[in-house]
Amino acid sequence: MSNRTFTIIKPDSVRKGNFGKIITKLEAEGFRVRGLKKLHLSQKQAESFYGVHRERQFFKDLVKYMTSGPVYVAALEREDAVPHLRKVMGATDPAKADAGTIRKDFGESIEQNAIHGSDSDDNAKAEISFFFAESELV
Ligand code: ATP
Ligand code: MG
């Protein structure tokens, strides 16, 4: 089990001023921020990042949402980073997420669900290198 994962604090969270609250929660859960950037995803970046969902009916809306405003992307470190972040995030649909999870507390809908987290160690590695050079992880 690798100790790194990758997160996006999604546009709805940034728009509502929830970035600080979400980072505070992640730090309280033992995650250390190794890399952090604020950026506005381009159409190309969003399409490529969510490429596995290209054939899904919600893909176009997902890309529109993810490019609707700035996001924060971060590389996080902690023991069992990938499964632990998924647990702290909660279910994809905030209405089905457990109490106390980030999506329960900050998500709007199954689409506008506050945060992304890698779903495997391999994807964590790929997603971190999509946005960060190794020298930017400190
Ligand atoms: P993420 O990959 O963002 O961490 P996830 O792994 O919980 O979320 P995925 O199935 O990978 O969920 O879906 C990627 C994203 O696509 C979701 O986070 C959400 O923003 C959007 N999405 C997923 N399912 C739907 C749906 N049925 N309708 C609209 N948007 C959806
Ligand atoms: Mg996913």
Q: Which CATH superfamily is domain 2-136 in?
A: Nucleoside diphosphate kinase-like domain (3.30.70.141)
**H helix count then E strand count, the chain:** 7, 4
Residue 1: per-residue pLDDT: 56
Q: What is the pLDDT of residues 82-136, one digit of tens each?
A: 999 999 999 999 999 999 999 999 999 999 999 999 999 999 999 999 999 999 9
Domain extent listing, the chain: 2-136
The verdict on pTM exceeding 0.85 is yes
Per-residue pLDDT tens for 33-60? 999 999 999 999 999 999 999 999 999 9
Q: Atom 5 of ligand 1 has which residue's CA nearest to it?
A: 92
User: The tokens of 123 are what?
Assistant: 């994807």
Torsion, CA 7, CA 34, CA 27, CA 123, rounded to 10: 30
Ligand 1 centroid – CA 111 distance (Å):
6
CA of 92 to the centre of ligand 2 (A): 8
Q: Ligand 1: list residues with CB < 6 Å.
A: 53, 58, 62, 92, 110-111, 113, 116-117, 119
Q: Whose CA is nearest to atom 22 of ligand 1?
A: 111
Select from 126, 104, 122 the least CA-distant residue to 113.
104
CA 70, CA 18: separation in Å to the nearest integer?
Answer: 13
Residue 63 CA, ligand 1 centroid: distance in Å: 11
Pair of tokens at residue 138: 């400190």
Residue 2: which pLDDT band, with cuts at 50, 70 and 90? Answer: confident
Q: How far is CA 93 from CA 79, 97, 102, in A?
A: 26, 6, 11
Residues involved in catalysis: 116
If you take atom 20 of ligand 1, which residue's CA is the nearest one?
111
